Amino acid sequence: MKLFRSARNISSVPLLRPLRIYLSAQYRYPENLRCLASRTSDNNSETDLEAARKWFYTFKRSSLPVKIAKTTFSRASGPGGQKTNKTSSKATTVWPLDLLIPYIPSALHADLKKSRYFVSSSQSLSIQCDSHRSQSFNEAETHKRLYHEINEIYHSVVPGTTSPEQRKRVEKLKKADNYARIQKKKQHSAKKSSRKCISTCNM
């Protein structure tokens, strides 16, 4: 026997109404389901996440060896004066993924391939810069951009940990909220009792 033939019938059951609303929202916005599937497939173990946190604590620009990257220079385009347009000051730095990942925790590996700098044909990260007139400045800027990109990937993948102080504060706020809720219920109950008393006395 089928209890419900469609999600619409669930609305007649008060206890199941929140479930109907949730399912309705999920099917109305398919991207919610896609995001959930993505998060599920990309889940890292707690061991991997903890290893990433320890790594990030000491992570700095020098953590990525310059020797694993290859930089080439070409003519910059756009405004910048005669020197910029006539000299090869634009820097393009490439990091082969197989040389880069040994220096990156495994929890971040999958998202490196989702980076805006990832080039699938060469399986590498390629970053360009022509902001400066100097080759060395532009090359340094590409390394800086990689550092910031890895920082962003880390923060998007690894959830933050809650400090003991933060946990205590959250618990304190919960207790205060619970106390306020109980007091409100008591006040409401007292009002109802007083109304009944007044009604009885007037009879």
15 shares its domain with 93: no
pLDDT of residue 110: 95
Residues forming a β-bridge with 71: 93
Domain boundary among 135, 157, 179: 157
pLDDT of residue 98: 97
Nearest partner of 95 among 74, 73, 116, 64, judged by Cα? 64
Cα 103 from Cα 175, distance rounded (Å): 44
53 shares its domain with 36: no
pLDDT of residue 191: 77
52 shares its domain with 124: yes
Mean pLDDT by 10 residues, the chain (203 residues): 46 46 42 38 78 95 95 78 68 97 96 97 97 94 97 92 62 79 82 71 63
Instruction: Name the domain count of the chain.
Output: 2
Cα 116 from Cα 118, distance rounded (Å): 6
170 in any annotated domain: no
pLDDT of residue 114: 96
pLDDT of residue 203: 61
70 contacts: CB under 8 Å, gap ≥ 6:
93, 94
Put simply, whether the predicted model's pTM sits higher than 0.85 gets the answer no
Output DSSP code: residue 127: E
37 shares its domain with 71: no
pLDDT of residue 38: 40
Nearest partner of 157 among 42, 17, 33, judged by Cα? 42
19 shares its domain with 81: no
50 shares its domain with 129: yes
Residues in the chain: 203
SS3 190: helix
pLDDT of residue 11: 44
Domain boundary among 137, 157, 177: 157
Which domain range does residue 51 map to?
Answer: 46-157
pLDDT of residue 15: 45
18 shares its domain with 97: no
pLDDT of residue 109: 97
